[in-house]
Structure formats: structure tokens, C-alpha cells
Amino acid sequence: MLRRLSATELAATLPDLFGDPTVSVAAVFQDPSVLGFHVDANSLLVQDLNADQLMSNAEAIAQWAVTTPSVLSRIAPCTTTDDACQTKFITTFGKRAFRAPVSADRLAAYKQLFAAEASFSAGAQAVIAAMLQSPYFLYKTELGTASSGTFPLTPYEVATSLSYLLTGSMPDATLIAAADTWSTPPTQAQVDVQLNRLIGGNSVQTALMNFMTGWLGLDRLYSNAKDNTVYTLTDGQRSDMMGETTNLVVDTFNSNGTVGDLLNADHSFLNQSLAQFYGISSAGLGATSFTKVPYPLGGPRDRGILAHASVLNGYSRPDISSPTQRGHLVRSRLLCQNVSPPPPNLDTKLQDPTANTPTTRALYEQHVHPTDPNSPCPACHTLMDPIGFGFESYDGFGRHRSSENGSPIDPSATIVQAGTSGMAIQTADLTALGNYLAGSDDVKTCNARYWAYFAYGSVSWDQDGCTYDSIRQSATAGAYSLKSVLTAIVHAPHFTTRVQDQ
């Protein structure tokens, strides 16, 4: 399989490749979103005017690299035009760009390109520009070598997959050096040394949040429109809200916590302004830094990540909350159950609030219990809105409320067809909803399925049962901690071996 670097991966790779965060990365790709992620191997293509854009970007970067002394000294071990220096530059920079050693035939091709230029600077510029347009840079290859009917992946292919999964960027020098010594395919013990190193490093936070952002749609915090006439949500508040969620996720991960620990966390991470927004005492909190704050039962906020303003803002209408969106989040992203889109020819508008429907919950009850007995709405909305009612203690901006338009809030929720038993689950409030989900096996396996898709870039939930069985078994042994899920994905045979169409 070939997997083109996503726009996010390309933007992370170039600064690492040149060791300089100021490298200019043009907006070449608008990656389609599949299942909330931008990683789908069949959708990430180089097509249409992309080659044109890639050429322009590569030329600009190459010129910048050879004219910026600090960069050139970092990527070029020598700066002469003799054969030895050409070879050294191409093999050194090429190994980093291609994430694998430069083969003899490719070395010859790039030397020919270099030799056509009049100076080291011009030669290096041509080589860099070419490498940044090369398929060996743009695509992560997972081809392997044929062996008794299977295709074990090469050490460098495994190292590349491992690096992008755990850091979101290209392999670092330590990982490439390790791959130099690995067998084909590398053994689990060999991989585990690097897996454990990277999983304990700082870069894993980026990759971890890349996954969590896609899984929970956290980027909706920024993309979801908000009605400023109701409340003005500032950029700073959005940043604080994402900071809270990031801190909880990273802390849970580092402390070997589970997805359940995210959903029923008895604490959160606040700074002064977010605490004030939440109506919680900000005494002792930093102005910008986040401090772990306990959330006692019956406190001013419900427990767990679902009560984070980052989530609540992302799943709301511009002016009010949205039980449909919030219920859909739980149904599709936490329980892995599909909900069909609205059928054609359906009038989707709700009646405006009236004296009889002063609350958002009452408004959305029209979906679930419509006055028209022939309404098609309940067929799908029963799967969503009654779950979303459990979030109703929070308005469209994530502010806690006990009443709305003078009527008390009812945050009780119902999850129909909650699991394999098909039983309906009743919960009293968002904390209770989080508690139920935290203990659900469906949520654990659903999380693993999305993470595996994020890692592998292909949807094979139905077809690739063996891979998911392997992940489930391995993650179960690790009590489904976030680290154990990630480790299970790496330990699955699919990570190091291919069996079919290459």
C-alpha cells in the first residue's frame, strides 16, 4: 500500500527534515475527511494541479535551504562539487527525506541531476527540489518483500509507520539508526524498544491529540460557528478550552489511564479564565498554565471529557445546544453505531420555541415524539436526541445552567439499543452518562477501531477481523489503557506484514 503524506504530516515533516520550524510549507493539499480523519489511503492522492503546486513549493524550499547558512550547514555534510561530496550529500539528505537508504540506482540518478549544475549550491538546490517531489518522500510505502506468500515490511517501512503513528512526523535519527539494525520484518522486541521510547517522549502528545481530535471532532471547537449576539466566544477562550482537554488527555495517557478514565475523570485541568468561565473558584490557579483541579460529585461541573467546553461548543448550534449533534457524537464515535443521514424530501426544520417548548429539550422532543404520527423523524433521532438530552445542563457555549427560559433543565438521558443486548440505558445527568460509557466494552472496542483506522489509514472493520481480534486481545491484556491500545495496534500483524494486493 502507498499512503501519501497527509497535509498535516507534510507540514510536520518539513520542519523536522530541515531542522528549522521556519520552513515555508505551502497549502498544497486539501485532504478529504473520512470518518473524521484525514488519513484515508484511498483518498490521499497527488492529482490534478497538485504536481504543479508541489514543484513550486519544492523549489521555494530548496532555494531557502541553500541560501540559509544555518540550514545548509545542518543538512549538508560538505559543500564541494566533487564526486565524494555529491554522494555524501545525496545519501545523507536522501536517507532522511526518503526515510530509508538511497538505493544505488537512485543515487546515480540524483548524482546526474547534481552534476548538471555549476555549483554545490545549485546542485544541492536541484537535488532537494527533486527529492521533495519524489514519490519516496511523498508516499509512505508499505510494500515489503515477498516471503512465502506474505510480504514482510522492511525495517524502514515499519519505522516510518511507527514514527508517524507516534509522533505525527518523520523518524528521528535514533529510530532510523535502529532500523538499520532491524531484521525483515523487525521483531516485536526490536520494535518495542523504539515504541517504548517514543511513547514516553513529548512528541507522542502531538500524535495523540491528532487522533483524539479526529475521533472526538475536537477541531469543531474552532470550525463551528457561534452566534456572537448570544455570547462572544473569544479565541483565547477557545485556546483555554482546548488546553483543558489536551491536558486531560495527555495526563490520562501518561498515567496509563483508559478511555473510560477520560469519560468519567474526577478532575480536570483549569486556568484562571476557564475556571471563571465555568463558575469555579480560580484561587490558586495560573493565569495561563493549567492546574489539576478535583471535581467532587455534585460540584459545579459534571465529570469527564464530555463536559469539557471544547466538546460542548463543537457539538452545538450557533445559538443553542444541539441534542442531536451531541447524541450523534456518542452514537457514532463512542458506540460505533451508524446513523443514516436525513432521507430526501424531508422537511428538517423544527418549529420555533413556544410557550410550550421553552427549553431546547422540549424543542428537540419534536424529533422523538412528533405530533404527526407518520413523521419519519423518530426512526433516526431516537438514536441520538435522547442521548443528547443528557448534555442539557450545558448551553451551546458550554456554560452550566440549571434552567432555560425559566424552566428547569432535565439532564436525564436514554441510550436505546445501548449494546449487544439492545437494552435501553437510563442516566440521570452527564456525569452518569459518562460513567455508563466509561464502563462500556463497546466504547473500548470502538475507540480501538477508530485508532486502528487512524494508524492504518484504511477501513477494514468488517474484512480484517483477525487484525481487530489481535488488537482486542492485546488491549484487553493491558486493561485497555490508551497506551495498551496504541501498543496493540503496533503489535498487530498488520503493522509489519501484508498479505494481499500491494
Partner 1 sequence: MLNRRKFVGSVGAGVLLAPFISLLNGDKPARAAGKKAKRLLLFCSMGTNPVLWSPTAVTAENSFTFSPMTQPLSAIKANTILIEGCPSMNTGDGHGAPDGLTGLGYGQVGQVPVISVDQFIATGLTASGINVPIPSLLLGADTTALGGKNMFYNGKNGGNCMSTIGSPMSAFTTAFGGALPSGMTMDVVMKRRKSILDLVTTEITGLQSTLGSVEKAKLDLHLASIRQLENKLTQMSSAGAGACSKPGMPPADSMFTPAETQTIAANVALQNIILAAFACDITRVAAIHYGSDQKLQVNLPAQSLNDDQHGGFIHSGAASNYKNLVTFEQYLAQQFASLVTTLGTMPEADGSGMLLDNTIVAWCRDMGDSVAHNQQSMRFVLASGTNGYLKTDPNGRYLDMRKMTAPASRHERVLLSLCDAMGLTSFKGFGDASLGVNKTPLPGIAS
Residues of span 112-141 touching partner 1 by CB under 8 A: 113, 116-117, 125-126, 129-130, 133-136, 141
Please select the residue that binds partner 1; options are 189, 225, 287, 297, rule is CB under 8 A. Answer: 225
What are the residues whose beta carbons fall under 8 Å from the beta carbon of 405, sequence distance 6 or more?
Answer: 353, 358, 359
Q: Sign (positive/negative) of CA torsion 326, 329, 332, 335?
A: negative
Binding-site string for partner 1 from residue 2 to residue 21, where x marks contact by CB under 8 A and - marks none: x-x-----------------
Site residues for partner 1, window 135-174 (CB under 8 A)? Answer: 135-136, 141, 143
317 near partner 1, rule: CB under 8 A:
yes
Q: Residue 337: which of 264, 418, 262 has the closest Cα?
A: 418
Choices 185-193, 223-231, 240-248, 439-447; region in contact with partner 1 by CB under 8 A: 223-231
Give the helix ranges, DSSP H, for 46-119: 50-67, 69-75, 83-98, 104-115
- C-alpha 71/C-alpha 462 separation (Å) is 47
50 near partner 1, rule: CB under 8 A:
yes
Task: Kindly state the cell numbers that stand for 300.
Answer: 459545579
Task: Kindly state the cell numbers that stand for 192.
Answer: 518495542
32 near partner 1, rule: CB under 8 A:
yes
CA distances from 312 to 298, 327, 337 (A): 19, 11, 21
CB of 100 to partner 1, least distance (A): 13
223 near partner 1, rule: CB under 8 A:
yes
Is residue 149 within 8 Å of 139, Cβ to Cβ?
A: no
Task: Kindly state the cell numbers that stand for 332.
Answer: 457514532
Choices 32-40, 190-198, 248-256, 480-488; region in contact with partner 1 by CB under 8 A: 32-40
- C-alpha 128/C-alpha 51 separation (Å) is 16
Binding-site string for partner 1 from residue 342 to residue 371, where x marks contact by CB under 8 A and - marks none: xxxxxxxxxxx-------------------
Choices 1-9, 76-84, 270-278, 409-417; region in contact with partner 1 by CB under 8 A: 1-9
Q: Tell me, by CB under 8 A, how many residues bind partner 1.
A: 72
Site residues for partner 1, window 397-436 (CB under 8 A)? Answer: none
Identify which of residues 34 and 191 has a Cβ nearer to partner 1 in the complex: 34
Is residue 323 within 8 Å of 381, Cβ to Cβ?
A: no
Site residues for partner 1, window 254-283 (CB under 8 A)? Answer: none
30 near partner 1, rule: CB under 8 A:
yes
- C-alpha 276/C-alpha 254 separation (Å) is 27
Please select the residue that binds partner 1; options are 9, 16, 31, 251, rule is CB under 8 A. Answer: 31
Choices 81-89, 243-251, 337-345, 460-468; region in contact with partner 1 by CB under 8 A: 337-345
Identify which of residues 32 and 200 has a Cβ nearer to partner 1 in the complex: 32
Please select the residue that binds partner 1; options are 341, 373, 406, 422, rule is CB under 8 A. Answer: 341
Q: Residue 359: which of 422, 427, 294, 409 has the closest Cα?
A: 409
Is residue 165 within 8 Å of 204, Cβ to Cβ?
A: no
60 near partner 1, rule: CB under 8 A:
yes
Is residue 458 within 8 Å of 471, Cβ to Cβ?
A: no
Q: What is the DSSP letter of 153?
A: P
**Other CB atoms closer than 10 Å to residue 145's CB: what's the count?**
12
Choices 157-165, 217-225, 261-269, 398-406; region in contact with partner 1 by CB under 8 A: 217-225
Identify which of residues 228 and 288 has a Cβ nearer to partner 1 in the complex: 228
**N- to C-terminal Cα separation, the chain:** 5
Q: What is the CA radius of gyration of the chain?
A: 26
CB of 186 to partner 1, least distance (A): 21
376 near partner 1, rule: CB under 8 A:
no
Please select the residue that binds partner 1; options are 224, 247, 321, 440, rule is CB under 8 A. Answer: 224
Give the helix ranges, DSSP H, for 360-498: 360-368, 377-381, 385-388, 430-438, 441-456, 465-477, 482-491
Choices 43-51, 82-90, 273-281, 294-302; region in contact with partner 1 by CB under 8 A: 43-51
CB of 74 to partner 1, least distance (A): 21
CB of 456 to partner 1, least distance (A): 15
Strand-pair category, 267-270 with 403-404: unpaired
Burial of 401 (0-12, 13-18, 19+ CB in 10 A): middle
- Per the listing, cell 535514533 goes with 174
Site residues for partner 1, window 91-110 (CB under 8 A)? Answer: 106, 109-110
Please select the residue that binds partner 1; options are 19, 52, 439, 460, rule is CB under 8 A. Answer: 52
Identify which of residues 141 and 487 has a Cβ nearer to partner 1 in the complex: 141
Identify which of residues 4 and 381 has a Cβ nearer to partner 1 in the complex: 4
